[in-house]
Amino acid sequence: MASSRLLLAVAVVAGCAVGLAGATDHIVGANRGWNPNINYTLWSGNQTFVVGDLISFRYQKGTHNVFEVNQTGYDNCTMAGVAGNWTSGKDFIPLREPGRHFFICGNGLCQAGMKVAVTVLPGAFEGTQMVPPPDSHSTASDAAAAGATCFAAAAWLTVAALAVAIAAVA
């Protein structure tokens, strides 16, 4: 009887830890990448973005770039309200705040469809230090390390709390 409870407790705790393990990396345009003449509105409409996720832009370095702008900049393909810019060709951008986020190509190709708007939903740990402080030039390793550290800490705290609760009941 006690061993069945212990096995159940381990299964529940392991399931919770796996569920909290990491963020989703949304690759803009999927296998087509960040290029002109792609319907990014359709692509973003099929995604669910949550605080802590990453939005990744893949393109040929030197040919394109990514700017985060405000809605006016997005609507008019201008640099209005620039909040960040990336040029690596493999840009991993942490989504740190809920709300609408607007990204455009600043090399004159916004009018050719190189723009995407995403709606980011609050994360499960909103209000806690889930993601690092803003940095407009985050790298893939920065984002991955910060996300892994924050999610690992949250997962272990949840696992520990569950283990204590289950041990108290058993």
Residue 64 is part of a domain; what is its CATH number? Answer: 2.60.40.420
Does a structural domain hold residue 65? yes
pLDDT in tens, 102-128: 999 999 999 999 999 999 999 865 544
Q: If we measure between CA atoms, which residue out of 104, 111, 120 comes closest to residue 34? A: 104
Alpha-helical runs (H) found in the chain:
2-19, 40-45, 71-76, 140-169
DSSP assignment, residue 37?
A: S
* Res. 47: pLDDT tops 90: yes
Residue 122 lies in a domain: yes
Q: Residue 15: left (phi > 0), alpha (psi -120 to 50), or beta?
A: alpha
**Assigned domain for 107 exists:** yes
> In this structure, are residues 92 and 131 in contact, taking their beta carbons and an 8 Å threshold?
no
In a domain, 17, yes or no: no
> Is 5 within the bounds of a domain?
no
Which residues form the domain of 30?
A: 24-147
Domain count across the chain: 1
Q: In this predicted structure, what is the pLDDT of residue 53?
A: 97
Q: Looking at the domain assignment, is residue 13 inside a domain?
A: no
5 pLDDT band (50/70/90 cuts)? Answer: low
Average pLDDT over the chain, rounded to an integer? 76
Q: Does residue 76 have a pLDDT over 70?
A: yes
Q: How confident is the model at residue 16 (pLDDT cuts 50, 70, 90)?
A: very low
pLDDT mean over 65-91: 97
- Among 11, 2, 17, which residue's Cα sits nearest to residue 160? 17
Give how far the C-alpha of residue 62 lies from the chain's centroid of Cα atoms, to the nearest Å: 24
- Residue 33's nearest CA partner among 6, 3, 66 is 66
The pTM for the full model equals 0.65
Residue 19's pLDDT is 42
Question: Is the CB of residue 91 less than 8 Å from the CB of residue 137?
Answer: no
- Residue pair 88/60 in contact (Cβ under 8 Å)? The answer is no
